[in-house]
Every structure is written in structure tokens, then in C-alpha cells.
Amino acid sequence: MVVSGRQIRAARALLDLSQIDLADLAKVGRETISDLEIGKDVRTSTLMAAVDALHAKGIEFVNGRNGEEGVVLHAPAKKPKKRASRKASR
């Protein structure tokens, strides 16, 4: 799947992340995130680091058949509540 700079920028906006925030999550430089978003060529591993960081925050990148691009923010999976154990009264 191809992820565009517009999708990276849209994903950041949905998550209310700055370029610095995403750079920290992806363990890359802020300038690298800027380069991604304006469409400069970056290493595939760098792009994947940003994509993986956004996936971990609930982002899904979508591409349509006719060139449409989109971003979906999924609600984080809820952790099951632990049941309080009841001790028998004696």
C-alpha cells in the first residue's frame, strides 16, 4: 500500500500530534516527518517507522481504486475490566 504525505499529515491531525510528537513516536527527526509530508523521497524504513507509529495509535490508511486517499481513526480496543474477587465472609 502506498501512503502519501497528505495521509501522514491527516493522521497527525486526527491524533492531534505535532511533527515533533510523531518524530518521537517513530524515532526519526522532525525534519524527516516534514519531508514525508511534503512528498520528498525518504527511505522506505523511515516511512514504515512513521506508518507503524500511527498504526499503533489506531490509524488505518485507505486508498481507493480511483486514486482516493483517506485515513481512519479506530477507537482503541477496550481492555476487559478485571472482576473484583469476593472473599467469603466467615
CA dist 70 and 61 (Å) reads 6
Q: Which residue has the higher pLDDT, 90 or 6?
A: 6
By the 8 A CB rule, do 19 and 77 touch?
no
Q: Which residue has the higher pLDDT, 2 or 31?
A: 31
Answer whether residue 24 shows pLDDT above 60: yes
Mean pLDDT throughout 11-24?
A: 97
Mean pLDDT throughout 50-57?
A: 96
Domain annotation for the chain: domains and CATH numbers: 5-73 (1.10.260.40)
H helical segments located in the chain = 5-15, 19-26, 30-38, 44-56
Mean pLDDT throughout 22-49?
A: 96
